[in-house]
């Protein structure tokens, strides 16, 4: 009887340890994934550019969803509320006139939160995020053939906070996944990659999207 009690005690301790680890690893994830799915097709913004420059940066690329999820500070389902041309486009320059940085501030409505830092309210409804793309008149600048989020396109978005407290998309085109319009996203990614003679990431996009939607029960 004593051996049986001892075995039960040991199993209980093991179970407590396992549950504690599960809680610890999942402490940054929220359990409230309820959101209203629009399910409506989006109208692709028709813009013509005089020139498109794709600049290559040394931004880190995550080779699997698990690593990307671990490194993200914030993971949301978000919907852009403005057309690309109407967003705030930022460009900075060095004293000699050469370009220092460029990006676009994109306003999103927050439809669901899958992971958040402690100081981010679970009730927050909007957010302005950084996209590595910008407009200067009729000239478009993009980083590593990045394609901007489309107005009205609900997407799972992986974000990291920078030193200024702003959230930006990580992993370039593989850091955002359309809920109802993946074909359009893939088409635009492929078109931009071909235009810039960059590697086509559509296969990875499809694979990662399937895994992400499985993780967050978005079937």
Task: Give the tens place of pLDDT for each residue, 88-121.
Answer: 999 999 999 988 999 999 999 999 999 999 999 9
> Whose CA is closest to 138, among 52, 61, 57?
52
Element (H, E) at 131: strand 126-131
Q: What confidence score (pLDDT) does residue 55 get?
A: 83
pLDDT digits (tens, 9 = 90+) for 1-51: 445 444 444 444 454 444 444 444 444 454 445 556 665 566 666 667 788
Specify the higher pLDDT residue, 175 or 60: 175
Average pLDDT over residues 205-209: 96
- Can you tell me the distance from the alpha carbon of 157 to that of 142, in angstroms, rounded to the nearest whole number? 18
pTM: 0.81
Tell me the average pLDDT of the chain.
83
- Contact status, residue 181 vs residue 189, Cβ threshold 8 Å: no
User: Could you tell me the pLDDT band of residue 87, with boundaries at 50, 70 and 90?
Assistant: very high
What per-residue confidence (pLDDT) applies to 49? Answer: 79
* 155-164 average pLDDT score: 96
Q: Find all residues with CB under 8 Å of 213, minimum gap 6, and list them.
A: 156, 177, 219
Q: Give the integer Cα–Cα distance in Å for 149 and 109.
A: 13
Q: What is the 8-class DSSP label of residue 124?
A: -
Q: What is the pLDDT of residue 50?
A: 82
How far apart are the C-alpha atoms of 21 and 100, rounded to whole Å? 44
């Amino acid at each position: 009887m004593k051996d049986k009690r001892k075995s039960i005690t040991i199993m209980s301790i093991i179970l407590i340890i396992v549950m504690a680890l599960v809680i610890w690893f999942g402490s940054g994830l929220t359990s409230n994934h309820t959101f209203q799915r629009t399910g409506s097709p989006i109208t692709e913004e028709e813009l013509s550019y005089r020139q498109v420059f794709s600049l290559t940066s040394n931004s880190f690329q995550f080779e699997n969803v698990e690593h990307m999820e671990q490194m993200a500070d914030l993971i949301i389902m978000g919907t852009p509320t403005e057309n690309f041309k109407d967003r705030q486009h930022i460009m900075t320059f060095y004293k000699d006139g050469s370009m220092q940085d460029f990006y676009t501030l994109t306003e999103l409505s927050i439809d669901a939160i899958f992971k958040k830092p402690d100081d981010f309210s679970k009730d927050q409804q909007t957010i302005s995020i950084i996209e590595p793309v910008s407009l200067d008149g009729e000239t478009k600048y993009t980083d590593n053939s990045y394609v901007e989020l489309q107005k009205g396109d609900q997407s799972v978005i992986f974000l990291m906070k920078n030193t200024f407290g702003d959230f930006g998309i990580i992993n370039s085109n593989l850091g955002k996944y359309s809920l109802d319009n993946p074909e359009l996203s893939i088409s635009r990614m492929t078109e931009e990659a071909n235009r810039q003679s960059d590697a086509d990431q559509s296969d990875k996009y499809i694979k990662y999207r399937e895994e992400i939607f499985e993780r967050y029960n978005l079937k």
